[in-house]
Amino acid sequence: MNDSKTGRSVKVGVVQMKMSGDPGENMQKALDMTHDATGKGADVVCLPELFRSRYFCQTEDAEFFELAEPIPGPGTEAFETVAAATGATLIVSLFEKRTAGLYHNTIAVIDGRKGYVGKYRKMHIPDDPRYYEKFYFTPGDLGFRTFPTEKANLGTLICWDQWYPEAARLTALQGAEILFYPTAIGWHPEEKDAVGAAQHQAWETMQRSHAVANGCFVVAVNRTGFEPDPASDGGLEFWGQSFIAAPDGHIIHKAPQDEECVFVEELSLGAVATMRHGWPFFRDRRIDAYSGITRRFIDSDE
């Protein structure tokens, strides 16, 4: 799967973290682990979703809006220092304050010495037990985005976006060679024995399918560890297992379930063209027949 003609490749670093209740501590750990990844040669480093804090969306509490910050702002400035020193491109998930009462779950892209180059705002916002994100986040209004960098074209999506083939497709159609999904997903401990394995398998399978359907790499970056519900008993056990999938869907590397780690993998971007030539899904798409995809549901009586 090497690109024998151009030899284009990119070294991707993944940071899988446990979060404490101290945002400053989490921020410093994230910076340190990013330095670790760049020290291992990473050209691009991706951190988990909302790494500056524990996953506060387990409950609805307006006090957590105090965690939000402007983008660009203090968070991006801290990572710009790392990017400038190393030349690496950093994919940084932050809680964005746009104005009082208007907040987003946002990725900031920091492209080496260029610094901050843009943002992606999470488009799909869940509302499930212990995932009460609709209380905190306004759906994204920037559309799906791909960022051209010196090493590769990077597509940015976030967690709940990963269940939607439309999101992966529209990002890949903008030239993304790698889709990044910063994530915060885990088990309700009381359900783990009954449905935990199936839930995790579905999560992994879905993202591997995006790699195959779009002929690109997929990088899913999760947190790990147990985080208590701040408002009641229980909590979430994040399942870690961050991974990189190749354009043919096979898993190149997977992190452990319950450990913090940093890993770096070199990805041969020629594999994207190889897969798209062999399985030309873009060529054979019937774009003239897909108008129904913009409807909520195709009712038989319409």
Q: Which residues are marked as active site?
A: 49, 122, 159
Q: What are phi and psi of 263, to 5 degrees?
A: -135, 155
Sequence-separated (6 or more) residues with CB below 8 Å from residue 178:
10, 12, 44, 152, 153, 154, 155, 216, 217, 218, 219, 267
Q: What is the maximal distance between C-alpha atoms in the chain? A: 61
Sequence-separated (6 or more) residues with CB below 8 Å from residue 97:
65, 68, 69, 70, 103
User: Cis link prior to 72 (omega < 30° from 0)?
Assistant: yes
Sheet holding 116-121, edge to edge: 116-121, 102-111, 89-99, 44-46, 9-16, 261-268
Cβ contact 232:221 at 8 Å: no
